[in-house]
Amino acid sequence: MELREAKSSDKTLVLEFCKNTFSWGDYISDVWDNWSLEKNLLVLTENKIPVAISHGSISDKQVWIEGIRVHENYRRKGLASHLVLELESIAKKKNCKVSKMLIAENNKHSLRLANSLNYHIEDNWNFYSLTPKKINFKTNVKKATNNQSVIVLILSNTSSYVRSWRWLPLSKTTINNLINENKIFYSEQDGIINAVAILLPSEHFEKTLMITLISGNEDGINNIIKYFQNFALESDNERIQILTKINNFPKNNNLEKKYTFCLLEKQL
C-alpha cells in the first residue's frame, strides 16, 4: 500500500466508499476541498486506488485528527491506526504537543481503537440542534467586552471551544481575540452572569451557526437559546448547532439532542 497526500482525482472514489458511513450519509463531500487546501489530507491506496483517508488540522501546537474513513472491504486491517500514527508523526515534526479527536459515545469500535493508541477521554460533549425562529421574548443577552468576570468564568469551565467541529484550545489571548471579534455572548440577571456562549459561523457548512455553550443555569440557557433563535433567523441562517458539556437543558420544542461525543486526547 502507498500512503500519500490526497489528490483531486481521489475525491470521487473516496466519496463513493464514504457515502453510507452514517445512517444519514456523510459530510466528507462538504469538507474535502477545504481539507485538501489545508494539506495533511492523507490517503492510503492499494494499486493506486484509495481505500482509506484521514485529515489532520494543526494549530496552536495541537493536531486535530478527523475524517477517519476506511473502505468496508479493508477494515480490521490496521489502516485507521496507520493513518493516525502518521498524522501524529507529522504533528510532532511541527512541534505539536497534543493530539485530539472526537468520537461518538456509542461508537465502541472507534473508542477501542483510540484506546489502543493511548488516547483517553478528556470530556463528554453533547450536540443539540436548534431551529432558527422568531421568538417574542425579551432577553438580557449581551456581547462580551473586556470583562474579566467573563474570562474567568470561561477558563474555569472549559479549556476548549468549537470551531467548525474542531475543539481548539482556549487561552486568555484566544478569549480576548474572540471578544474583539464580537463572538462571545453572555446572559445576565440582577448583575450576575448566568450563561456564556461562543458563537461562530461554520466554515464548512452553509447557513449554519455553531455555539459553544460554556456555562449556564436554566434561566441563562433559556435566554441564550431564544436570543440565538432570533439572531439566526435575522442573519439568514438555517441551522444552529450547540456543543456543550452541560447535560440539563430547559425544554424547548425547537431543540433536539442529537448525540453525545467523547473528546479524546493524547500527549505527543
3-state secondary structure the chain: CEEEECCHHHHHHHHHHHCCCECCECCHHHHHHHHHHHCCEEEEEECCEEEEEEEEEEECCEEEEEEEEECHHHCCCCHHHHHHHHHHHHHHHCCCCEEEEEEECCCHHHHHHHHHCCCEEEEEEEEEEECCCCCCCCCCEEECCCCHHHHHHHHHHCCEEEECCEEEECCHHHHHHHHHCCCEEEEEECCEEEEEEEEEECCCCCCEEEEEEEEECHHHHHHHHHHHHHHHHHCCCCEEEEEECCCCCCCCCCEEEEEEEEEEEEEC
Query: What integer pLDDT is reported at residue 23 of this predicted model?
Result: 81
Residue-level pLDDT, tens digit, the chain, 268 residues: 899 999 999 999 999 999 988 888 899 999 999 999 999 999 999 999 999 999 999 998 999 999 999 999 999 999 999 999 999 999 999 999 999 999 999 999 999 999 999 999 999 999 999 999 998 878 889 999 877 888 999 999 999 999 999 999 999 999 999 999 999 999 998 889 999 999 999 988 899 999 999 999 999 999 999 999 999 999 999 999 999 999 988 888 899 999 999 999 999 9
Query: What integer pLDDT is reported at residue 191 of this predicted model?
Result: 86
Domain with CATH 3.40.630.30 in the chain: 2-96
The Cα-based distances of 202 to 111, 133, 205, 238 in angstroms read: 26, 19, 6, 12
Query: What integer pLDDT is reported at residue 4 of this predicted model?
Result: 96
Query: What integer pLDDT is reported at residue 146 of this predicted model?
Result: 77
Superfamily (CATH H level) for 2-96: Gcn5-related N-acetyltransferase (GNAT) (3.40.630.30)
Of the candidates 184, 186, 189, the residue with the CA atom closest to the CA atom of residue 172? 184
Query: What integer pLDDT is reported at residue 86 of this predicted model?
Result: 97
Query: What integer pLDDT is reported at residue 105 of this predicted model?
Result: 96
The dotted CATH code for 127-267 is: 3.40.630
